[in-house]
Amino acid sequence: MAPQRRGASKAPEGSGAAERRRQRSTKSIRAPRDVRKKWLRVAVLGSCTALAACLFWGSLGGDDGITEVLAHRSEILPGRFIEVPCSEDYDSHRRFEGCSPRKCGRGVSDAVITRDEARRIRSIAEKGLSLGGSDGGASILDLHSGALSVGKHFVNLYRYFGDKIQTIFSEEDFQLYRDVRQKVQLAIAQAFGISASSLHLTKPTFFSRINSTEARTAHDEYWHAHVDKVTYGSFDYTSLLYLSDYLDDFGGGRFVFMEEGANKTVEPRAGRVSFFTSGSENLHRVEKVHWGTRYAITIAFTCNPDHGISDPTLT
């Protein structure tokens, strides 16, 4: 009879076979963990890449999540106006019938001031600011009060420089300034359906030069949202005349009307006038300038003759 085949005897627990079984069992437990760790690394890497992309595109497109361009740099606008509900800011101030805002809104026009006029009036700003300039990113020149940024402070350029002013500016400069102011005043009156004679120039009205230099004082921090009627009181209508071109002369620096979920931006263009009622219905700010130099002039009007100021004169 052929001998019977006996099954292999069980190996003791300390043998190599038992160890191999434990290793296989450990690998079967470790494998899902390794897969999870691998996908976790991939997910983290993907999230970091997505965040970097968002930051990159955000640095190109602005820092406010702006969703609508009210006036594009490439457009030449004869006039664009958007009416918005008036805020209650005007109720705490004396009202002047036929002038104080009842119709509120914001407008943009490239037909009020020519690019040549903008170039010429920018030269006034350049000449004046060559006498000083802020240590921070924002410099101011006010031909009415004489305020000029110098370092971390302001000086009165008429007192500080005296007769030298006569060699910096000309009477033609001041006449151009007056002509431009009158054109802007008329455009605002027409847009809001009021008499131009009921509007009075008010302070502060000033040139601004902004670059990417780090802010040194609170005066240099121009990017905070604010309301002109709250900040200045006398303002009823605000305008800005841009004297340089977005993306040609500077990056960043767009004007932003702040609205929940859908901010509106104006891209500066030399000769472009942006104007609006000065209350909380037009909360706004300026983006930080990332490179280059942005020139503009703020021209404000009041309905209250007691808050009016005269045009500047050289003599």
Catalytically annotated residue among 181, 209, 254, 294:
294
CA distance 191 to 209: 28
CA distance 261 to 197: 38
What residues form DSSP beta bridges with 88? none
* Cα–Cα distances in angstroms (integers) from residue 260 to residues 66, 115, 236, 264, 283, in the given order: 10, 34, 23, 10, 11
* Nearest of 277, 304, 303, 292 to residue 82 by alpha carbon: 277
Its sign, for the CA torsion 231, 236, 237, 239, is negative
Write the DSSP assignment of 45-107 as a string of letters: HHHHHHHHHHHHHHHHH-SS---EEEE-TT---S-EEEEE---SGGGGS---TTTS-SSEEEE
* Cα–Cα distances in angstroms (integers) from residue 289 to residues 28, 77, 214, in the given order: 58, 24, 10
Is residue 119 annotated as part of the catalytic site, yes or no?
no
Is 290 in contact with 251 (CB distance < 8 Å)? yes
CA distance 120 to 98: 34
**What backbone phi and psi angles, to 5 degrees, belong to 61?**
-95, -5
The residues carrying an active-site annotation are 294
